[in-house]
Homo-oligomer: A and B are copies of this chain.
Amino acid sequence: MPHLTIEYSANLDGKIDMAGLCRALHAAILASGLFEMGAIRVRAVRCAAYAVADLLAENAFADLWLRIGAGRSAADKARAGEMIFAAATAHFAPLFKTPYFALTLNLSELDPALSWKKNAIHPRLRAK
C-alpha cells in the first residue's frame, strides 16, 4: 500500500495519456509525505463498455480508488486525498472545459489483520 486504481471509459483513448496520469498521481502520492516510494502502485483499467449520465457518446469518466494502510489521522487522509485529486484534476483540465467529463476519488483504509504482503522492491530502495 498505497494502491491507486483508475477505472476510465475507453473514449478517453487519444485524449488522455494514461501512463502520464499514473506518473502524475504517483508523484502526488509521494509528495504527500505519508508513503514509502517502494510501496506505491498506481494503475489504470480501461473499460470498453460503459453508460455515463445522459448517455451522450462524448460522456466520459475516470474514477480513482485509493487504498492505504489504516492508522493515519483524518487530517492526513484529507490532505493526501486533496493533493491526489488536485493532480488528477490538473491532468484532466482539457476535459473540464467540456460539459462531458466527471472525475471522482475515493479513499479506503485496509485492515492490517486482513492484509498480506511481500515486497522485493523495498530492500533495493531502502539500501540506497
Contacts and interface: CB of A to CB of B under 8 A. Distances in A.
A51 to B, nearest CB: 4
Contacts of A110: 106
Copies of this chain per assembly: 3
B121 A114 contact: no
Say whether chain A's binding surface is mostly helix, strand, loop, or mixed: mixed
Contacts of A55: 23, 26
A102 B53 contact: no
Interface in A101-128: 101-108, 110-111, 113-125
Interface of A: 1, 3, 5, 7, 9, 18-19, 21-23, 25-26, 37-55, 59, 61, 63, 67, 74, 77-78, 81-82, 85, 89, 95-96, 98-108, 110-111, 113-125
